[in-house]
Amino acid sequence: MKTNVHANGRGNHTTTTTALPSLALNNLEAGAEFNFSKGHFTVEPAASLFVPFGADGQGVSGYWQIGISYKFGK
């Protein structure tokens, strides 16, 4: 919040108050990650879904990825 106080030589004061813009929810993103292991192998899939709430013409989008690893040794 911002307040400005102005005074002239006659003792009169003018106060102007400016409020911050309100908070709004623009989008929502949800994600999930998993980890599957069997012996030395590990598989790690992950996915995310993005849902915009604005009227800017964008639709729901998402992505996924998968990681595969092998542990050498005992």
pLDDT tens for the chain, 74 residues long, are 455 555 555 656 666 777 777 777 788 899 999 999 999 999 999 999 998 887 665 788 999 999 999 999 87
Domain spans of the chain, in order of start: 24-74
Residue 46 has, within 13 A of its CA and on its CB side, a CA count of 8
All residues at 6 or more sequence positions from 42 whose CB lies less than 8 Å from its CB, including other chains: 35, 36, 67, 68, 69, 70, 71
Strands of the chain (E only): list them. Answer: 2-7, 13-18, 27-33, 36-38, 41-52, 61-70
